[in-house]
Structure formats: C-alpha cells, structure tokens
Structure 1
C-alpha cells in the first residue's frame, strides 16, 4: 500500500531522531525508500526547519537553534563534463557570483566518455549542496530517456550550456547558455563583408557545442546565400584519443582552397591554432591566401598570426546561471522557468585581415 508524502516524511524525521546524525544513503537503505525520494523529502523538511543537512548527512536541528556545523552558508554544486579551456571560464564566472553572495561552490566532473552524470550529481547532493548547476552529457539529436532523474532533483537546479528538448527531461528547469547559431552567423557575415561567397566549416561531431555549430552553419549558409559546402569532419589521430589528426585536417582545408573556397571556420581553438604553420607548408598564408576564424576564443589570440574568433560569453554564462540559482534561494520558487541565451561576439584579429 502506498503511503502519503506526509507519512513518509514522519518516518524520516523519526528515524533521524532515533539514529542521530546519519548519511542520507544509509537512511534510504534503512527505510527501503529510493534515495532520490529521501533527498527530496529531506530538502523539504530542512526548509521547514525539521531536519538539518550537512556534508551528505542529516540530523535533527539543535534544540537551542544553534547551527552546530559552524556555518549557515549556502553551498552550490556544479557538474561539468571537463575542466580546462572552455569550461574553466564558465566555472570562474559561477564562482565569482557565488562568492559575492557569501555562498560556496563545490565542483564535480562527469567526463564526456563516462556518461555518469547521475552518479556524480548524487555525490554532490550527498555532500549537502543546496542547489545545482548542471551541464548534462547529451547531444541535441540524442534521446534523453536516461535523464528523467533531472525532473526529480530535490534542490533548485539550473542547466548550463545545454538546452532540454521540449517536453523532455529537464525541460521545466532554468537554463542559461550561449546562442551558438548567432555565433556562427556573425562569423560568416564578417567573411561575407570581406568578399567571400563560400565558407568551409571544419568541426568535430562529439560534443554539444560542435553540433550547435554545425546546425548554425547550415542555417547561416541559407540566410546569407552562400554556396553550400560539405562539413569537413575532423578525424581523430587515433581511435578514442579525442585528438584531431591536424595534418589530415590541413590537407582537406588546402583541397577546398584549391577548389576556390578561401575561408574556413574551425571549431575549436585547440585545433585551429595548430593549423597556420601546416597551411603555410601547403602554400596557404593567413590572411592573404586563406581567411580563418576559430570558434571558442580560448587560445585564438595566442596563435601566429592571431586568429579572429567567435567568443561565446563563457564567464557571463556561468555568472548568469549562478545568479539565477541564487534568486531561487532567495524565494524565487514562484518565478516561471527561465531560458536565457547570451550572444557570442566576434573578436577580429589578423587571420581575417585585421591589423596585427
């Protein structure tokens, strides 16, 4: 027989009173209730002041009302697929906003290949976080059937640099991210202003951003009336290496240039900055023989010559996501779900004819 929510929560409070401080996972096991349900109930009970959460454990509040943990600061958990390059700036933006509010950020990583988002999110929840900033490991065209747990999270949550499909898992959550379609469009418009009527795209196909760049490219080509070009797929240097075969990429860009396509957009910076010397060896100098724009603007300014680049507002995305979560903490539960898109900018440098 199913029990009501209130009865279940009475069980939880009574069990914590009997056990004292107890880990959430142990409590769920003892009561025979799914851990996700126990976490959700504990969050509601903590909000009512009936329980106290701390570092993955739960206890009954001190009768005198003192915070025995020694701190009442909010803790935000942030889950990203990687650190370094792109996401470092997103993380820093979130960290600054959270610190300014007197809260603390803890970081979790669910690598692209591991596909263990739920496990890592549960570890953050067990550590006692009050809210989550999540970047799920999914691609736009993939079914997200395995992400139904997003709709059961017991704490306020904001998706970062990911957009849920309408009606799919996470569709009701707040979302903050970059409008990569706009980023590709401003790059191709700049190349059009330089006289190019056809632009090649070289891109990977294994990340969310790469898929957004690809679909944005197809859309921008139609809008600008460019001659369509097949995407230059970046091939790995070795199976599963995650690294691009740069020499092969340079060969294929040179082949396109030989056929008259003298402009290329490369996603991402890590690969793009390796191309200029290889292209010179194939008779193509930037910017006279070829105009090149990179996407991400993490390393582009350090290339020789410096690369014109699309710069997604990475730091601003992290900051805006954190600020939206903090608003939820401050009583914004009645607000409608937000979907905030921030626009990338184009940083014009020498690789497209800008002055050095």
Structure 2
C-alpha cells in the first residue's frame, strides 16, 4: 500500500525517537524505503527543525522534550490560510508533517486575499470538531483588522501564523508564529552593502501582509545601515506593471543606483528580461535580490533571494498549538519570530551551482 510523504516522515520521526541516533541507511532499511527518498525526507524534517543531521546520521534536536506524538494523539487542528499554490504551500507542508508526527489531524480552510470571509471559513472549520486553530486572517496589509473580537472569543485555542496583531488590539494577546521579515530585508541590504552599493531600490507589491512588512523592513534597514533611502517603486498590478517598473529601475540605474530588492519572486522573474531589454544585466549591471524564495532558484538565471523559513513556521505553529493544548492556560503567551536566510545565487554573482 502506498503511503503519503507525511505518513512516511511520521514513521521516520518515530524510529529516531525510539533509537535516539540512527544512520540514514539503517533508517531506510527499517521503514523499507529507498535511501534517496529517506534522505529527501530527512532533509525536509531537518529544515523544519524536527530532526538533526550529522555525518550521515540523524537524531532528535538538542533539548527535545517528551515525544510530541503523545501530546497530539487524536487532536484535530484547523488551519486557515489566505491562499495555496505558492508561499503558504510550504507553511502548510511543515504543519502537515508536524501534525502527522504528533498523531494529530490537520484540517485546511482557505479564505482568499480578495475575500472577507475569514469568519465564515472558521465557522466551517469549527464544525469539524477542532481542538485548536492556526489562523492567518485577511487583515488589511500594514495594519490590524477593524474588529478582531471574534478571534479573541474563539471557542478553541488559536495561534496566529505569519501575522502580528497590533499592540493594544483585541488580538494582541494571542500566541503568534511567523517570519521576521524586517530581519530578512536587513540581510538583503547588508549583503548589497558588502558588494559596495551605497543605495538600494525596493520594488514591492502592496497587496499582502508580507509586502507591507517588507516595506517597513526597508525603511528600518536603510536607517540602520546608513543607506540613502529611495522612494518605493510601486507594483500596483502584479504581473502587469513589469515594463513600468523596469523603466523606473532603469532611470534610477542611470542615476547610479545599481541594486534592487524585489518583492516577490513572480515579479522578479518577470522583471529580469524587461531589464535586459533596457541594457541592464544581472549581476554585471545590476545586483538583484528577490524576496520570498518560492520560485527564485527556478529562474533562467537563478535569483539571489531572501528565504523566510516557511516550512519551519508551519512546524513551529503546530508544536506551539500542541503545547497550548497540553499545558492549558498556564502556558505563557509566545510571540515567536523565525529568522529568514539569504540564499546567494547568480543574480548577485553567486555560484551558479547553488540552488
């Protein structure tokens, strides 16, 4: 019988917990799976923080508490996201793997960015008999929703995912797990400074929470690094403003600014040929960094990218939820921010083999 990747990874975690440390080859034999498949699964589990790899062997992370499976057995965890098919696919994947490893069931709801039916989707999820809810609400980008009382008054524990409630709002006291996008932007700009750039452009969308976090991070990072701030190049119509954005970047390049951070991968990939048509090749004429790292490595010219820990966010959100369900109201409210990484590829002069 064919098993899913989540079931296979749950078996891997069970064996590692039982043995403490095990060689990958022995692990593959124990679960009767091809070593190449096990190596991929181990890499994904290590990326999510569920396993530790060292010299061909795997073990539980240092400081791991009692087996998670005992805390999540038969729990039902709902998860509301604004989209699938890109950024949140990896968040969901991390959550699914962690839930499966804990013996819990994950139930998914989707309330698109264009809609305002968060509450209706949550009500439908609650009908599934949830024990807890992972929630990514459609808050207005850059701010809190006008009324989040219903979130505070949910009948089950809730953890915000990739959202930060405004201080003093009705949702400010909820636990949250997300990426530190301010830090991610700082990583990108700091790298460009090491390449000798004294000014960096930001071309950014305006239609998502992450976009506004990136914008705020740019304002903060330019100040910290002593860079000359430039007006944000607006991407009002994702996928349709490519030529206008390329013209703006070309004009700034003619004025001496030869570095740009683009949110997100979709826009950065479309921009590359438009910039080349205007005589700007990366990295010879322009250092280009994308933000999100969902598709950046797949571009014809692999793009340097800020990579938020999307899968690890999903994992950490499930683990925090299980702790809340186990420890109850006595558990302090956690606001967990996970740090992105910068993956240097050829658009900033990196090794073309680094993906």
Q: What is the CA distance between 1:304 and its match in structure 2?
A: 2.2
Shift of 1:140: 5.4
2:106 corresponding residue in structure 1 = 105
Matched, 1:282 2:282: no
Q: Distance in 2 between matches of 1:243 and 1:111?
A: 18
User: Is the partner of 2:78 in helix, strand or coil?
Assistant: strand
Distance change in 2, residues 1:280/1:140 (3 Å): closer
CA contact (8 A) 2:141 2:208 kept: no
Distance in 2 (alpha carbons) for counterparts of 1:150 and 1:235 = 30
Instruction: Tell me how far apart the structure 2 counterparts of residues 143 and 272 of structure 1 sit (CA, whole Å).
Output: 28
CA contact (8 A) 1:144 1:169 kept: no
Aligned match of 1:15: none
The corresponding residue for 1:74 is 75
Tell me the TM-score normalised to structure 2 length: 0.77
Q: Does 1:247 align with 2:243?
A: yes
Give the aligned partner of residue 120 of structure 2.
119
The worse-fitting range, judged by mean Cα deviation, of 326-335 and 218-227 is: 326-335
Deviation at 1:244, TM superposition (A): 3.7
Determine if the alignment matches structure 1 residue 203 to structure 2 residue 204: yes
Once the two structures are TM-superposed, the CA of residue 136 in structure 1 deviates from its matched residue by: 0.8
**Superposition pairs for residues 144-223 of structure 1, below 5 Å?**
144-223=145-224
Higher alpha-carbon deviation: 133-142 or 278-287: 133-142
Aligned partners of 1:304 and 1:350: how far apart in 2?
10
SS in 1 for 2:324: helix
Inter-partner Cα distance in structure 1 for 2:145 and 2:350: 43
Partner of 1:129: 130
Deviations 1:155-192 (A, max 9, x none): 11100000011121221111000000000001000000
1:84 aligns to what?
85
Deviations 1:28-81 (A, max 9, x none): xxxxxxxxxxxxxxxxxxxxxxxxxxxxxxxxxxxxxxxxxxxx8211110000
Q: Which runs of 5+ in 2 are unaligned?
A: 1-72
The root-mean-square deviation of aligned C-alpha atoms, in Å, is 1.2
Question: SS at 2:113's partner residue?
Answer: coil
Work out the CA distance in 1 between the residues paired with 2:191 and 2:147. Answer: 40
Match of 1:310 among 306, 318, 337: 306
Task: Say if 1:108 and 1:124, in contact at 8 Å, map to a contact too.
Answer: yes
Q: Distance in 1 between matches of 2:165 and 2:178?
A: 11
Q: Residue 261 of structure 1: SS of its match in structure 2?
A: coil
Within a 5 Å distance, the mapping from 1:253-332 to structure 2 comes to 253-332=249-328
Q: Using the alignment, how far apart are the partners of 1:315 and 1:345 within structure 2?
A: 13
Asked if the contact 1:139–1:211 (Cα under 8 Å) also holds between the matched residues in 2, the reply is: no
Q: Partner of 1:320: helix, strand, or coil?
A: helix
> What is residue 69 of structure 1 aligned with on the other side?
none
**How far apart, CA to CA, are the structure 2 residues paired with 1:96 and 1:195?**
42
Shift, 1:289, TM fit: 0.5
Task: Give the conservation status (yes or no) of the 8 Å contact 2:143–2:166.
Answer: no
Equivalent pair of 2:81/2:137 in contact (CA under 8 Å) = yes
SS of 2:148 mapped into structure 1: helix
Distance 1:335 1:76 in 2: 18
Q: What is the deviation of 1:127?
A: 1.8
The 3-state SS of whatever aligns with 2:231 is coil
User: Distance between the aligned counterparts of 1:166 and 1:77, measured in 2?
Assistant: 25
- Cα distance in 1 for residues equivalent to 2:315 and 2:350: 31
**TM-score normalised to structure 1 length:** 0.77
Answer yes or no: is the 8 Å Cα contact 2:144–2:165 preserved in 1. no
